[in-house]
Structure 1
């Protein structure tokens, strides 16, 4: 029988071929909200600033309104924050995650999970 925690479901919302929102982007939005800047969020997530900036850029291009607003100038209160649209999208995504997580731990996916091995078989070339 498979372990109870062997099931991991991931939600990705697509905009064309681009991932508009997924677990990593949601975590980045949380970090921006907590840190007040993209660079601070990147440091907190052990990610390069460039990678964080590219993820923010992708999100801002995919949604009808930008999710992250930036203002230049550290000394004058610059940084980044979630826009009202960013807060709505993040809250909606987290609510969807919570719903999926509660469903995944119920009877709906229990049968599928029970068919799963604890570990994969060895590859034919390895045998």
Structure 2
């Protein structure tokens, strides 16, 4: 969930070194894994390949002190993927951060910038 407040779009990303540890897309993937119970089904529900989904999960698992997603291979009721306690905490904390950012944006501070902005951008190569 990226937060858009008028002309302002907020996208919170937390980095581990140079690698994004979590952002709106990874948070959406964690929610899909929680809902679907598998990385492949979560990826499909978001229109992404299994490989892309797995790479994002691998990235998240490498960035945090504990794994966010735990997988179980094989058949039976226990197969698939699930959020760990740490994964749920990271997801909940990230979503709370998004809400705080949206609240801060809604309280103002953009009026001066908005007054200077055009309604629509000029066409490419147009002179202002």
Report if TM-score (shorter chain) is over 0.5. Answer: yes
**Per-residue Cα deviation, 1:87-117 (whole angstroms, up to 9, x for no partner):** 0000000000000011112223333334332
Root-mean-square deviation over aligned CA pairs: 1.6
Cross-structure match for 1:117: 118
SS in 1 for 2:10: coil
Give the deviation of 1:63 after TM superposition: 0.4
Cross-structure match for 2:101: 100
**Per-residue Cα deviation, 1:10-46 (whole angstroms, up to 9, x for no partner):** 0010011100000000000000000000011011101
Greater RCO (CA < 8 Å, at least 6 residues apart): 1
- 1:7, 1:113 within 8 Å by CA — same for their partners in 2? no
Matched, 1:43 2:44: yes
Instruction: Return closer, same or farther for 1:107/1:66 CA change in 2, 3 Å cut-off.
Output: same
For 2:100 and 2:114, the matched residues in 1 are separated by 18
**Runs of at least 5 residues in structure 2 that lack an aligned partner in the other structure:** none
Instruction: Return closer, same or farther for 1:117/1:50 CA change in 2, 3 Å cut-off.
Output: same
For 2:67 and 2:111, the matched residues in 1 are separated by 39
Cross-structure match for 1:23: 24
**1:4-15 map, 5 Å:** 5-15=6-16
More strand by share: 2
Cross-structure match for 1:58: 59
SS in 2 for 1:19: strand
Structure 1 runs (4+) deviating above 4 angstroms are: none
**Per-residue Cα deviation, 1:42-65 (whole angstroms, up to 9, x for no partner):** 111011000000000000000010
What TM-score does the superposition give when structure 2 sets the normalisation length? Answer: 0.88
For 1:21 and 1:91, the matched residues in 2 are separated by 12
What TM-score does the superposition give when structure 1 sets the normalisation length? Answer: 0.89
- 1:14, 1:20 within 8 Å by CA — same for their partners in 2? yes
